[in-house]
Amino acid sequence: MVYLTRKAEFSASHYYHNPDFTTEENVRVFGKCANPNGHGHNYTLEVTVKGEVDPRSGFVVDLKQLKETMHREVLDVLDHRFLNKEVPEFLTRIPTTENLAIAIWQRLAPKLKAAQLHRVRVYETPDLFVDFYGEA
Amino acid sequence: MKAYLTRRYMFSASHRLHSDVMSEEENVATYGRCNNPHGHGHNYALEVTVGGPVDERTGMICDLADLDGFVQREVLDRFDVQNLNMLPDFASLVPTTENLSAVIYDIVHRGFKSAHLEKVRIEETMMNSFEYRGK
């Protein structure tokens, strides 16, 4: 089994808000991130796939296909967007880094053909990242 | 759904690698330049990874401010800009980064209750790093 990781970057804005919370509760739980005008990050995405090396090609996965899938399913949807208002998942879910990693997994997992998705890692900043392995 | 959050912190400290159970020659042979009696320092990068279900109400594993506050108070305030050999933690423990990882793991594991600690990872320099996941 070999693991291959492809990196990508996207920039987006978001804010944290739970409509079931009062305004005070939102501010208490989410702090500065509750500002409804939003704020942004340069996110770094790492997608790791795993599989056996194809003896004919020497590849675990066709990197070009993986790159295209990441672009089509993830980057085109998230890059330069206000996540809360423009990305369907986040109309109902809070766009935390945890939920971003889960949403990216859910977008990619059904679209990957040859290799199996192993991990989605999302860096919100260089000193904060979340890993999701598809665990329930 | 279960996810893992990693937060990275920086601190600077000095240390000297020297074991009281070894002879002078053995210390020099084992630790080389790190045995210099005057000590030397590093900019350490500490990564703390917690794991757990993502809370549906907050979208978070735990409140990051809680983790930051805990690590600042219990780890960074204790080790940053210190000589590790002078601290009680290393009174009878060589302050290698292996041991430092385990000491910091124990502090976080014992005191931080908002999420499950998965691992502690420390980069001593850009060239070497150490991970501890508990016994």
Structure tokens at A105: 């997994």
Distance between A54 CA and the closest CA of chain B, angstroms: 31
* A91 in reach of chain B (CB within 8 A): no
pTM of the model: 0.94
What ipTM was estimated for this complex?
Answer: 0.92
Residue-wise pLDDT for B26-47, tens only, equals: 999 999 999 999 999 999 999 9
Instruction: Collect the ranges in chain A with pLDDT lower than 70.
Output: none
B25 burial (CB, 10 Å; 0-12 / 13-18 / 19+) is exposed
The residues, ordered by sequence, that sit 6+ positions from B59 with a Cβ below 8 Å of its Cβ are A16, A93, A94, A95, A96, A98, A99
| Cα Dmax for chain A | 60
Cβ neighbours of A124 in B, within 8 Å: none
* Locus of tokens 């124990």: B106
- Please count the other Cβ atoms lying within 10 Å of the Cβ belonging to residue A24: 8
Category of A46 on φ-ψ map: left (φ > 0), alpha (ψ -120 to 50) or beta: beta
Cβ neighbours of B118 in A, within 8 Å: none
- Residue in chain B closest to A131 (alpha carbons) equals B4
d(CA B76, CA A80): 36
d(CA A45, CA A9): 6
Task: Report chain B's mean pLDDT, rounded to a whole number.
Answer: 97
Q: Count interface pairs A-B at CB distance under 8 A.
A: 61
B1, B3, B8 ranked by CB distance to A127: nearest? B8
Cβ atoms B79, B13 nearer than 8 A: yes
d(CA A101, CA A92): 16
C-alpha distance across the termini of chain B, in Å: 26
DSSP B34: G
Residue-wise pLDDT for B80-114, tens only, equals: 999 999 999 999 999 999 999 999 999 999 999 99
| A128 to B65: CB separation less than 8 angstroms, yes or no | no
Residue-wise pLDDT for B59-87, tens only, equals: 999 999 999 999 999 999 999 999 999 99
